[in-house]
Structure 1
Amino acid sequence: MSAPGPTDYRRENVMVDIEAADRIATLDDDFFADPHAHYRVWREQGPVHRVRFPDGASRWVIVGYAEARAALADPRLRKNALRIEELLSAKRRTPPMSPQWLALNTHMLNTDPPDHHRLRKLVNKAFTARKVAELRPRVEQITAGLLDEMSAHDEVDLMAAFAVPLPVRVICELLGIPFADRDDFHDWTKALVGVLGRDEERARASVAMVSYLRELVRAKQDDPAEDLLSALVHAREDDDRLTEAELVSMAFLLLVAGHETTVNLIGNGVHALLRDRSQLDALRADPSAVPAAVEEFLRYDGPVDMATVRYTEESVRVGDTDIPAGELVYVALAAANRDADRFRDPDVLDIDGDAGGHLAFGHGIHFCVGAPLARMEASIAFTALLRRFPDLALASGAFPARWQVSTLIRGLHELPVRLRR
């Protein structure tokens, strides 16, 4: 990193550069290694910032809790995949993303009412609380099997051995996706949720994912089974049904959100516990506290950094900042969840604290439809893991943590742990 000039400032060893009267922070390697350190600096300067992303284009990022919660429910901050891509292409002065990329992203998370309400209603008919509750015995069975496999070793990478395969197997069974295909779609997912600027890799993954999901949807149309994707293919609401294009994008959303979120909820939560033995010991001594602890893991270092992008169709005032029309806006959930104006000692993990009101799953009409499933999986995972391996610790000679380079996903590449003394 270059030495600070006259328009730079440093606080807590984090540098953010200032251009003229506007605060423009830059997302660099230091940011992805520890976004919380940067967010602390930004919040001191205000709840809303212009930020230059790695592709060179600037966006607006909201970091204050009150402003973030309001923005997530503000209909003036719009969601439309095609319009967002138009704005982004203009800012970067590059060609638009491929049709396959847009095909994957035209789902209910990137749709405004009334289309959003229509899509969500059809999904809700298939993704019911009863369906999630019915999965509990199977999630417990998968968890026990993975822990049995781990017990043959003294040390493992917890991400590869447990945090990834558990939610991947669950979402495969829920959606009706062959588990044998897991490596392919997990690799595609990593490329598609990575940081902007890797367009060639993203384009290849988009083509592969669209082709795979299209064939899967057609198979469910011809030969439906007892799974969520078959239910979506055949869902009806007042003679309305999802088109093939809508089914492909919806399958993509549920597949990615259905496993990537839970992977990193488990990984980040275990990582936080192993760095604070007092919290680990307290949770191990009282397993009934696990559901509340999961909420604290979501607040303290949740699996989503910034919520998916929104845009302004008109000028929108957020806090004391006027964001002009035609601007891209991100809500930094990770930053909002550590705002001292909302949470006491926000940079301290406290499984007995009050994490209520955290924004890890969003807020408003786009609140995560899979939140009950993620909470259930995580509660089962933490309870069983700590019971089976009471001496769980970071592996000897452990690491500086390597975090994914993504504005969307907050997650570790690996988590080496020792299972017994």
Structure 2
Amino acid sequence: MQNSLAALEEPDVPKGLPIGPLPIDCDPDDTTPIRWVRMPNGAGCWAVSDYRLARQVLADPRFSRAAALAPDVARVASIDPSPDSIISLDGTAHARLRRIVAGAFTERRVTALRPVIEDRVRELLDELAAGDQPADLVAGLAAPLPLSVLCHMLGIPVTDQESFREWVPVLFDLDGAGPENRARAFRITHYMAKLIGQKRREPGDDLISALIQAADTEGRLTNRELVTLSLSLLMAGYDSTADQITLAFLGLLHDPARADALRADPGLVPAEVEELLQTNSSAPLSFSRAVTEPVRVADVTIRPGEPVLVFLLGANRGLRRSEGTPAGAHLAFGHGVHRCLGAPLARLQLATVIRLTLDRFPRLELAEDVDGLHWKPAAATRGLTRLHVRC
């Protein structure tokens, strides 16, 4: 047991673990604090990789999310939330929505989800155990878990969740211009608007009902604003969590000694979750920002109209080389006013799924070579299309 604990005292990125394609031409272990880079779509932007500077950029109101959506600022990502999304707003407009959402993401609500998450994980593990081997950990566990949790939290009826599951991917493929994509976008938007109308008439103990109540108390939101807000929460909480679960197991199964240490002492799981978030985060980049006035960053002057990104993966890796930083100080959930409100829920899901899966499958192992992994194309989140394991 002592050796297991020692193995966790000074964790590091597992040697030989690939990082997959990135939507930015930067090495996460390069210490260059800021550089001008070209994105896959050809647009140029400033990329901040230094941890200390990254925190400053994410917290400085001069680096504006709203300004990044101005017509004269280049679009640097294929997926960007709508201008009226909570993720795209600044100042009082953002604070108004944030206050409403924060009222629904209370500690009581997140804690109350623990048995729901545990039950769903156990169901999925039962299905993995009963299915063919090797099993796909993405399709069988990492993807369905956060979607089930979000559907439960939002108040999506169980009878509708299968259809809802088919519509959700359109939110992460906003460049798709085909008729099928447009039809799915219409269906999920229409469904959410109808559901909000029902919750107004017959509120329940769910997030949408809580948002409606908070909106009426804090300043009434229109149905359109509530639809946008609900879909924004879904976007923020689904893909990133599914990919983070996948990357967490990839790291643990690539380094079996770490998985064995967690089996021996489940009390180490929360600290391991923070380590996994820091060293192998599913979110490689922040959403883009633009400055409202010229700002000096290191030896560079950033001017209005020039997009700015924080290379979160690089900044988090750099944090490892910093002294005196507390546990959990990573930027996997961002920083400043746009820091992810769903961070406690993501942590709870990660800790629960790691603890229960390692306990259920003491011989869980990778069933494919890490050099031949099937990575998702470079996008807003890092992840795998599949991960074969033997249970």
Partner of 1:394: 366
Partner of 2:61: 75
Equivalent residue for 2:89, pick from 98, 111, 132: 111
Deviation track 1:64-116 (CA, whole Å, cap 9, x = no partner) reads 111111111010000127x615234x679xxxx9xxx9884522221111111
Partner of 1:286: 265
Aligned ranges 1:16-31 → 2 under 5 Å? none
Equivalent residue for 1:58, pick from 44, 49, 66: 44
Partner of 1:132: 110
What amino acid is the match of 2:361?
Answer: F
Unaligned runs of 5+ in 2: 1-17
Partner of 1:254: 233
Deviation track 1:171-206 (CA, whole Å, cap 9, x = no partner) reads 0000012322243233213314xxxxx452697365
Partner of 1:181: 163
Q: 1:296 to 1:78 in 2, by over 3 A?
A: same
Deviation track 1:4-39 (CA, whole Å, cap 9, x = no partner) reads xxxxxxxxxxxxxxxxxxxxxxxxxx9952679932
Q: 1:303 to 1:64 in 2, by over 3 A?
A: same
Q: Is the 8 A contact 2:121 2:356 kept in 1?
A: yes
Deviation track 1:101-139 (CA, whole Å, cap 9, x = no partner) reads 988452222111111111111111222110111111111
CA distance in 2, matches of 1:105, 1:217: 21
CA distance in 1, matches of 2:387, 2:116: 25
Partner of 1:38: 26
Partner of 2:12: none
Q: 1:51 to 1:209 in 2, by over 3 A?
A: farther
CA distance in 2, matches of 1:277, 1:36: 30
RMSD in angstroms over aligned alpha carbons? 2.9
Deviation track 1:385-420 (CA, whole Å, cap 9, x = no partner) reads 00000111111566612222244211111111111x
CA distance in 2, matches of 1:103, 1:323: 23
Q: 1:279 to 1:34 in 2, by over 3 A?
A: farther
Equivalent residue for 2:306, pick from 327, 333, 343: 327
Partner of 2:222: 243
CA distance in 1, matches of 2:289, 2:193: 27
Equivalent residue for 1:87, pick from 60, 69, 72: 72
What amino acid is the match of 2:259?
Answer: L
Equivalent residue for 2:252, pick from 273, 295, 307: 273
> C-alpha displacement at 1:377, in angstroms?
1.0
Deviation track 1:186-234 (CA, whole Å, cap 9, x = no partner) reads 3213314xxxxx4526973654543343333233233332210122123
User: TM-score scaled to structure 2, two decimals?
Assistant: 0.85
CA distance in 1, matches of 2:176, 2:43: 14
What amino acid is the match of 2:193?
Answer: R
User: TM-score scaled to structure 1, two decimals?
Assistant: 0.79
Q: 1:35 to 1:78 in 2, by over 3 A?
A: closer
Identity of aligned residues (%): 38
CA distance in 1, matches of 2:378, 2:188: 19
> C-alpha displacement at 1:237, in angstroms?
6.2
Partner of 2:320: 343
CA distance in 1, matches of 2:75, 2:352: 44
What amino acid is the match of 1:337?
Answer: N
Is 2:177 the partner of 1:200? yes
Q: 1:408 to 1:274 in 2, by over 3 A?
A: same
2:123 partner SS = helix
1:413 partner SS = strand
Partner of 2:4: none
Unaligned runs of 5+ in 1: 1-29, 193-197, 347-352
Q: Is the 8 A contact 2:38 2:44 kept in 1?
A: yes
Partner of 2:279: 300
Is 2:369 the partner of 1:384? no
What amino acid is the match of 1:38?
Answer: C
Partner of 1:158: 137
Runs of 4 or more, structure 1, over 6 Å off, are none
Q: 1:371 to 1:357 in 2, by over 3 A?
A: same
CA distance in 2, matches of 1:37, 1:282: 35
1:50 partner SS = strand
What amino acid is the match of 2:168?
Answer: H
Equivalent residue for 1:412, pick from 370, 384, 391: 384
Q: Is the 8 A contact 1:122 1:241 kept in 2?
A: no
CA distance in 2, matches of 1:116, 1:91: 21
1:51 partner SS = strand
Q: 1:105 to 1:162 in 2, by over 3 A?
A: farther
2:170 partner SS = helix
Q: How many residues align?
A: 366
> C-alpha displacement at 1:40, in angstroms?
4.1
Q: Which has the higher contact order (CA 8 A, sep 6+)?
A: 2
Q: Is the 8 A contact 2:51 2:316 kept in 1?
A: yes
1:39 partner SS = coil
> C-alpha displacement at 1:354, in angstroms?
6.9
Q: Is the 8 A contact 1:146 1:161 kept in 2?
A: yes
What amino acid is the match of 1:62?
Answer: V
CA distance in 1, matches of 2:84, 2:310: 20
CA distance in 1, matches of 2:290, 2:168: 29
Partner of 1:375: 347
